[in-house]
Amino acid sequence: MSEQKPKILVIDDERLICELLKRYLEKRGYEVTFFTDGREGLKAIEKTTFNLALIDIIMPALSGIEVIKQLKQVAPGLVFIGMSGSLDETGIAAVSHLGAAGFISKPFDLPQLAAFIASKIRPASLAGGPSAPVQNVGLNKEFIPPPPPAP
């Protein structure tokens, strides 16, 4: 019996980024579903149980912050990571306060992102083995650790 792959949801208005993440992460044992519109992503969360969500913060129709707020009502336990191409620290802080597992700024380093995802959820190919450590490598110099748990 084949082990079920961890499901990752990607919401980013840039289709090519979604496709890139899908191709890269699926090679590493995840099942990736993507949406370029936050509203469609939220509908998918209602129907499917995901293990992790990667959400772009700046999107035209429904912002990533709004998506996260609604997502927390639909799937409170879902682990999510914020992504943004802007170095706006207010946005990073907002995502952090909403309980993000992390924030990654674009352009991100794919192996670094994959290592971070692996530390949060276990891909099918790595199940049973040690999870990869998070490393600050590549172009991305910033990585905001998860916020402290709410009192």
Interface with other proteins (CB under 8 A): 14, 16-17, 20-21, 23-24, 58, 84-90, 93, 105-108, 110-111, 136, 139, 141-142
Q: How far apart are CA 64 and CA 4, in angstroms?
A: 28
**Minimum CB distance to other proteins, residue 46 (Å):** 28
Burial 68-99 (b: 16+ CB within 10 A, else e): bebbeeebeebbbbbbbeeeeeebbebbbebb
**Minimum CB distance to other proteins, residue 138 (Å):** 8
Q: How far apart are CA 39 and CA 62, in angstroms?
A: 7
Nearer to other proteins, 29 or 85 (CB): 85
Nearer to other proteins, 127 or 139 (CB): 139
Q: How far apart are CA 29 and CA 18, in angstroms?
A: 16
**Minimum CB distance to other proteins, residue 74 (Å):** 27
Nearer to other proteins, 4 or 136 (CB): 136
